[in-house]
Amino acid sequence: MQTTTDIRFYPPVSTDGAALHRLVAACPPLDPNSIYCNLLQCTHFNDTAICAKQQGEMVGFISGYLIPGRSDTLFVWQVAVAESARGQGLAGRMLQELLRRPACSNVQALETTITDTNQASRAVFRKFADSLDAPLIVSIGFDRDKHFDGDHDSEELWHIGPITKKQSEEY
């Protein structure tokens, strides 16, 4: 049986775009993006993204970016974990590895948005905040009617922080 100890972490590269597209498609309820968007995530945002591979196959990916005007805050756009790698703490390990990247050296907070029904993401980020002993504040992010014209569930804004460098290294 393979475990997450067999998994290696890499900054994504352009040739990872198609694999990312397939991974997200296999991870409902994640919103799929265009393959071109996934290619940009793997190139323009590769300093703040992480790719997890097991025997050459992408089994995990986190896309994120430093919020313009708030370079101390990492916004996590999507977290995708292949079914074969779930239940082993891979999402938390990827978040930790991402915070160790040079591009994230000044990060003092992490933010993401999560729908009310995405219990897996809610559990990942709650556990991550707890493991860092960092405050977690949940507020209104994007409203179904106000921001999505009723075509998408509301997204709560989850803010974890402040995060100290020592906390992120001890996780």
* pLDDT at residue 1 in the model: 45
Q: Residue 155's closest CA among 113, 110, 112?
A: 113
Helix (H, G, I), strand (E, B) or coil at 38: helix
Would the pLDDT of 2 be above 60? no
Provide mean pLDDT across the span 1-6.
60
Residue that is written with structure tokens 């409203």 in the block: 143
| Model pTM score | 0.89
- Token pair belonging to 118: 């995405």
DSSP state, residue 29: T
* pLDDT at residue 30 in the model: 85
Superfamily of domain 8-170: Gcn5-related N-acetyltransferase (GNAT) (3.40.630.30)
More confident position, 72 or 150: 72
* % of residues, the chain, pLDDT over 70: 93
Can you give the residue ranges of every domain in the chain?
A: 8-170
pLDDT digits (tens, 9 = 90+) for 73-125: 999 999 999 999 999 999 999 999 999 999 999 999 999 999 888 898 999 99
Q: What confidence tier does 145 reach under pLDDT thresholds 50, 70, 90?
A: confident
Computed over every residue of the chain, the mean pLDDT equals 90
Q: What confidence tier does 153 reach under pLDDT thresholds 50, 70, 90?
A: confident
Provide mean pLDDT across the span 144-150.
80
How is 100-151 classified by DSSP, letter by letter?
TSGGGTT--EEEEEEETT-HHHHHHHHHHHHHHT--EEEEEEE-HHHHHTTS
